Amino acid sequence: MASVRAAGKVEVYSLSKEAFDHLALRKEVAWSRRWDEEDTRDVAQLTVIKTMGAGAFGTAWLVVHQQTGRGYALKALDKFTVKRQNWTAVVVREKEILASLSPHPCVITMHNSFQSPTQLFMLMELATGGELFSLLEKFERFEPAAAKFYAGCVVLAIGHLHKHGIVFRDLKPENLLLMDTGYLKLIDMGFAKRIGRGEKTYTLCGTPYYLAPEMILHRGHGLALDWWTVGVLTFEMIEGDPPFGGTSEMEVYGKVTRMQYSCGPRFPDVAADFIGQLLKREPENRLGNLHYGSEDVQAHPWFYNFSWDQLMEGTLPAPYIPPLQASCMPEKTSTSLKKVLDLSDVMKNPTDFGYWPTW
């Protein structure tokens, strides 16, 4: 592709195609180019179908791209509310992390972002099956085979983030959405943070039932934190309750630091061992934080005869196919996005608006 002339001594290294593909370099380049050419940049092509839900900072809309007919979820955040609640840095960081990630079958994709003088917008991949939390509430617990499938989706998602040097820090059933195929998508990068391998950060964040010992004890945490949460989630999916329960946060933290949990008769021995390898008190001994990272997790005996390639390709049958959610069904009438949202003055230069210098 290019000619290079060396000024001095040269050492030449080779990289096999297998290693190159493993690093997903081709996908990164392809995503970068696609981001530049994304057809959703034209706001006039987006039509609001209906409201999907509302949160503390804004509203989620079901929108359709007129030219392609594809559906998306549009998160609209009110700037004044975000600033008043001191969540500016969190929102900006979430947007930057999502923008840097290439598409992955188990991580939600952000297709575009833009802003008006009063709102911030993130155009997200549409997941129509609802939260894993709701499914777990409906069935109370999953059979080990179903839990294995969902755990596999989460392992791929966490491994994808870790390859980008991102620790997620907020894994829980509420942050996993079901696609219409029954596959899981990891969402909500509000607590996610870039961190180098071996580095530590000290912010206390996440959900009490899922906090790892090193976070509770303020020893600093790194990428190993996410593998602890995978263990907690896997336990909860099979048992129906998290491994460390209690009537107060302090009681939960005490059980975590004392490693006070047990796997009951519902757990196959190999699944109990998988959870035990993840729920290690010391991060350096934790599965996923060893020499081969997420590959060690995938190689655990619980996943014998489990096709990771089929999971990545989306051809592995899911244990449950969700019905189409009412919130994602089009209404009889639709409205132009500009009429519903204040997009008449979408900003061409994001740095023009004071406290959003990196949006």
What is the DSSP secondary-structure string of 251-310?
A: HHHHHHHTT-----TTS-HHHHHHHHHHS-SSGGGSTTSSTTTHHHHHTSGGGTT--HHH
Distance CA 205, CA 131 (A): 21
What is the DSSP secondary-structure string of 209-259?
A: GG--HHHHTTS-B-THHHHHHHHHHHHHHHHSS-SS--SSHHHHHHHHHTT
> How many other C-beta atoms are found inside a 10 Å radius of the C-beta of residue 251?
13
Residue 235 in tokens: 């336990």
Check residue 192 and report its DSSP letter: -
Positions of E strands within the chain: 46-54, 58-65, 71-78, 110-115, 119-125, 166-167, 176-178, 184-186, 193-194, 335-336
Annotated active-site positions, please? 170
